[in-house]
Every structure is written in C-alpha cells, then in structure tokens.
A and B are shown apart, each in its own frame.
Chain A
Amino acid sequence: MLDYVTGYLSSNVTPGQAGNWVWALIYILLIFLGISLAVMGMVWLERKILAHMQIRLGPMRVGPHGLLQPIADSLKLLLKEDIIPENADKVVFWLAPLMVVIAAFTVFIVIPFGPTHAVTDMNIGILFMLGVSSLGVLGIIMAGWASNSHYPLMGSLRSSAQMVSYEIAMGLAVVSAVLMTSFNAGGSGTLSMIGIVQAQAAQHTWFAFKFFPLGLVALFVFAVAMVAETNRAPFDLPEAESELVAGFHTEYSGFRWSLFFLAEYTAMLAVSSIAVTLWLGGWMRPFPSWHGPAITIPNFWEHAAPLGAVDFAFSLVPAVCFFVLAAFAFIGTLRMPKHPLMKIQKGGLGALALVLAGIGLVLLIPPVRDRIQDIFWFVAKVAVFMYLYIWYRGTFPRYRFDQLMKLGWKVMLPMGLGVLIATAVVGVLV
C-alpha cells in the first residue's frame, strides 16, 4: 500500500493523464476539502483584516480571537429555515446555486498546484477555464429569474452585464500571455496550464516581467477584470446593499445562500490561481534558476544528494512560515486577559500554536519538504491576491453602474487590445 502511494507520488504524470480514476477522485476530494477550509479561513481573515483596517477588533467571542466564527456561521446556516418564495420557479430556484457552485469549482480541475499536482492536464486548459468560469453567469441569471422578485432580477441582470463586459478584457489579457508561451525553442506555444508554467521555467522569467512593461500591463488588465468577474468591491454592484438589498440572492436563505457565498469565494480563489499560473510562475519559487553554491545536506532518509544553497534555503521557507504563525499564536496566548473565564480560550489558542509548530516540524522532514514546496509557493502567491481582494474592499468606494460599464468597455477593452498588439509586434521584432 505504502509502496503504491510513494510509487504514485514519485511518478511524473497527473492522475488524468495516467488514467487513474481512483487517484483523480482522491485529488478531487482533497481539492474540495482544501477549498472549503480556505474559504472558512478567508471569511475569518476578511472580517479580521477589514476590522483592523477600520480600527475595530472584529470577531472576538467565538473561540480565541474569533477563530471558530466561520464554523459557528456555517452551522447556523445549515440549521436555518430554507424559504422558497411562493411565485418562484421551484426547479430553477433549486438548480441555480448548484449551477454556480459547479461553475466555480470545476475551474480547479486544470489548475496545477505543482508539476504533477493537478487533477488533469488538458491541452486546451486555459480555454476550458474561460468557458467554465463563464457558466457562472448562467447560474446567476437563473437565480435572479427564478426568484420572481424585482431586486434579484435587477441584480442578476446587472451582474451578468458586468461579468460579460469584463470577460472580454480578461480574454484579451489571457491571449497575450498565451502568445508569450510560443517563445520556446520549438516556436510552438501551449494552452495547457502545466505547459504555461513550464514555458515560464524554460524562458527563465515570469510572464509578468517579460517584455517589460507589457507583461505587467496584461496582468493589471486581468487583475482588474477578475475583481469585476467575481462581483467584489469596488465592483460589487450586483450586491450593492444600499440599492438592491442583496442582488441576485435576495430571496435565498440558509444553506442555499451559503452555496452562493461559497461559490463567490471559490471563484475568487480560482481566478487568482489563474493569474498566478499565467503571469507569476505558478508553482515556481522566486528566482527559480538561481541555485547558489552546491552543498551537501546529510539526508537520513535517502542518500545524501548535493543541492544548491539557495535551493535549500528556499525549501525551508514553508516550515519557517508555520513557525512564525505559531509564534504569533503563542504571543497571543500570553497577551490574553488573565481572567478565569478566558481559560478555555487561552488553552485553545495555545493548542493552535502547538499544532502550527507541529506542522512546521513535519514540513522539515526531507521527503515532505521536497514535495510540499510547489504547493506552498502556489498557495502563497494566491494568498497575496486574496489579501488584495480584502484590501480593495477596505479601501475603494463602490463604482456607479455607468462608470463601471464605461471602465469595462472604454478603458479595459482598448487596453487589453493594445497590450496584445504591442506584445505581438515586439514579439515579431525580437
């Protein structure tokens, strides 16, 4: 059994490519688990970071520093009454949240967390992702229409108009990244997500810094378009509380509402992952072709293999990150008020510090250290984008709808087209 697992992990194909459906299913379930945990963490972090930006404390009551708040929230949502309005179209009302969830999750099938850590690697990966992520619009329109209420209908129309407008700018930015993949020795580019990262490795640069500043402009167009795609602040018009109550999910309650919520955060993770894959080198660590002087680290599991000092230093970063987090949790434990009622909270936070330190120790074990690196760098880059999402929400005022459409059609579209043409011209000249 163990031989089978290690043998599989050391092979260099994705489960889809190997035709191994059991492993594909395991990967799929792991992705689901990971995303659900990430969404829970994201909800807590968003409330915490927003609160600190506004000089508040945020959730503090449920668990130490409100850490159990997302669990309490999801339990509450599961146990709430599920209301379907009288005049609603029952079938469409039922299907809409599922549709949105499927569209948001299925994008993750082609996202490479590492050279082999993807469910499958399709030769049309990025096209598949563009197609599937636009299915979300369908679910939103279904939700708005099925509710048979004025606010949801208006919200869903606005939302679809906005998503559709920014999808063009997004697509053009993606084309300019695909164009950069064709600067290989063979002169043929690729649409496969793993192939795109490998092209960046072969060209010794992240596409964000290729043809400076063209890559960065394309990334900027994508980064703006992806905020509008996911209906987040400052483009959260469909959910503008002051105008439309809650937009397309006004009539949804309980678990169905939480499905929309889950889909929104999953879509945020998905588009951030795509941006990371296309422009920021996917699973590669910073300075991937800088190895440093060769050193030999005694390795107790396998024979001692020489490796670069810089490689080794970067491979320690995941463990160090967890140690830093553990230190934060430990300092938090010490700073808790000395009141008998805070005893449980204090114990919980202390236990969390121990768990984080334990994970850090596990990440130091050489075989784990080698395999976790790719995933760690990928997740770290995605986390930067997720922080940006929260930062935007805390900083920018909401756009007006006509300004939003004007920005999409009159600024982002020409910018995307211009970047594409400029990249093509520069590409032919060099």
Chain B
Amino acid sequence: MPQNYVPIFLFMGVAFAIPAVTLVLFKLVRPENPHKTKLMPYECGITPLDDARGRYTVRFYIVAILFVVFDVETIFLLPWAVRFRWLGKFGLLEMGIFLGILIVGYIWIWKKGALEWV
C-alpha cells in the first residue's frame, strides 16, 4: 500500500522545517560579533598548527568494512525470520549453512587480529 509511505516525506519535511525555521528566525535576536580568535578551531587555547582533515588510523576503515559484511548478513536474515515457521527445518538448515560460512569468516578475522584495537 503506497499511501502508507507518504507520511514519511511529510514527517521528514516537518523535521527539517521546524529546526531550520527556528535557526533562521532567531538570527534576528541573537548577537553576532565575529572575532578572529573566536572563529578559530578550539584546541584548548593553542593556535592550531595544521588542517585537521589529515590521515587517521586504518582501524576505522577495518571496522567499516566488517560492519558492511555483518549488516548485510542481518538484512538477509530478516526475510527468513518472517517466514521461519513456514520454512521449518529446511529453512533452518539453509540458514545454518549461510551462517556457518559467516561464522567461519568471523573466526578467521578474530584469529587474524582484525578485532583487536591495539
């Protein structure tokens, strides 16, 4: 039923409009005195030496990749869970094989040390 989905856009519109309008409206009353030191990035009072957007540790990338793998797995599990009773033992076996492959992969990344945060 497509009409069930229309309120999403209505809701997102309201959720965008209320804060945005308040933000613009209160520009009329709030003070605005920009100053050179006030506009500096906050670094506990020290003048920043470099641009913050530099390189960062590779571990964040690993976490992101692992997340994609396991999140897609969760999405694949949902249709099976909905029809679980109907699929019965056959479905359980099928999902067991699917999960088995993933669990082997999980044990491998654990042994490989991808889950360590040293």
- Also in contact, A82 and B30, with CB within 8 A (given A161-B63, A410-B115): yes
Shortest Cβ distance from B1 into A: residue: A17
Within the assembled complex, what's the spacing in Å between the Cα atoms of A77 and B77? 45
Contact residues in B for A428 (Cβ distance below 8 Å): 88-89, 92
Shortest Cβ distance from B118 into A: residue: A402
Q: Out of A160, A161, A254, A401, which one reaches B30, CB within 8 Å?
A: A254
Contact residues in B for A105 (Cβ distance below 8 Å): 11, 15
Q: From residue 359 to 406 of chain A, which have CB atoms closer than 8 A to chain B?
A: 401-402, 405-406
Within the assembled complex, what's the spacing in Å between the Cα atoms of A409 and B11? 34
- Also in contact, A175 and B74, with CB within 8 A (given A28-B10, A255-B22, A427-B84): yes
Contact residues in A for B15 (Cβ distance below 8 Å): 32, 101-102, 105-106
- Asked if B7 contacts A164 (CB within 8 A), the reply is no
A127 proximal to B (CB < 8 A): yes
Q: From residue 71 to 89 of chain B, which have CB atoms closer than 8 A to chain A?
A: 71, 74-75, 77-78, 81-86, 88-89
A25 proximal to B (CB < 8 A): yes
B8 proximal to A (CB < 8 A): yes
- Also in contact, A16 and B3, with CB within 8 A (given A127-B78, A145-B53, A402-B117): yes
Contact residues in A for B32 (Cβ distance below 8 Å): 81-82
- Asked if A187 contacts B86 (CB within 8 A), the reply is yes
Contact residues in A for B30 (Cβ distance below 8 Å): 78-82, 254-255
- Asked if B83 contacts A148 (CB within 8 A), the reply is no
Contact residues in A for B116 (Cβ distance below 8 Å): 402
B101 proximal to A (CB < 8 A): no
A309 proximal to B (CB < 8 A): no
Q: Out of A15, A153, A171, which one reaches B53, CB within 8 Å?
A: A153
A109 proximal to B (CB < 8 A): yes
- Also in contact, A79 and B26, with CB within 8 A (given A164-B64, A401-B117, A427-B84): yes
- Asked if B26 contacts A78 (CB within 8 A), the reply is yes
Shortest Cβ distance from B31 into A: residue: A81
- Asked if A167 contacts B67 (CB within 8 A), the reply is yes
- Asked if B99 contacts A421 (CB within 8 A), the reply is yes
Q: From residue 1 to 56 of chain B, which have CB atoms closer than 8 A to chain A?
A: 1, 3-8, 10-12, 14-16, 18-20, 22-23, 26-27, 29-34, 38-44, 48, 51-53, 56
A345 proximal to B (CB < 8 A): no
Interface of A is mostly: helix
Q: How many residues of B contact A (CB 8 A)?
A: 69
In the complex, identify which listed stretch (A47-55, A116-124, A287-295) lies at the interface while the others stay far away. Answer: A116-124
Most buried by B among A85, A191, A424: A424
- Also in contact, A87 and B51, with CB within 8 A (given A188-B83, A405-B63, A421-B99): yes
- Also in contact, A79 and B12, with CB within 8 A (given A16-B3, A148-B41, A168-B74): no
Contact residues in B for A102 (Cβ distance below 8 Å): 12, 15-16
B108 proximal to A (CB < 8 A): no
- Asked if B5 contacts A120 (CB within 8 A), the reply is yes
Nearest-CB distance from B90 to chain A (Å)? 10
Within the assembled complex, what's the spacing in Å between the Cα atoms of A417 and B103? 9
In the complex, identify which listed stretch (A178-186, A214-222, A269-277, A326-334) lies at the interface while the others stay far away. Answer: A178-186
Nearest-CB distance from B91 to chain A (Å)? 9
Shortest Cβ distance from A158 into B: residue: B60
A151 proximal to B (CB < 8 A): yes
Could you say which interface size class chain A belongs to? 35 or more
- Also in contact, A250 and B42, with CB within 8 A (given A122-B5, A178-B78): yes
Shortest Cβ distance from A88 into B: residue: B41
- Flag A230-269 by CB within 8 Å of B: 1 or 0 each: 0000000000000001000011001110010000000000
- Flag A288-308 by CB within 8 Å of B: 1 or 0 each: 000000000000000000000
Within the assembled complex, what's the spacing in Å between the Cα atoms of A256 and B1? 37
Within the assembled complex, what's the spacing in Å between the Cα atoms of A168 and B70? 6
- Flag A187-207 by CB within 8 Å of B: 1 or 0 each: 111110000000000000000
Nearest-CB distance from B32 to chain A (Å)? 6
Q: From residue 90 to 115 of chain B, which have CB atoms closer than 8 A to chain A?
A: 92, 95-96, 99, 103, 106, 110, 115
- Also in contact, A150 and B92, with CB within 8 A (given A80-B30, A120-B8, A406-B117): no
Shortest Cβ distance from B20 into A: residue: A98
Contact residues in B for A101 (Cβ distance below 8 Å): 15, 19
Within the assembled complex, what's the spacing in Å between the Cα atoms of A87 and B49? 13
Within the assembled complex, what's the spacing in Å between the Cα atoms of A413 and B41? 38
User: 7 tightest A-B contacts by CB?
Assistant: A149-B41, A171-B74, A187-B85, A402-B117, A86-B39, A179-B81, A189-B82
Could you list 11 A-B pairs, sorted by A, with CB under 8 Å? Answer: A16-B7, A29-B14, A109-B7, A150-B41, A153-B52, A189-B83, A191-B78, A245-B44, A401-B117, A417-B99, A427-B84
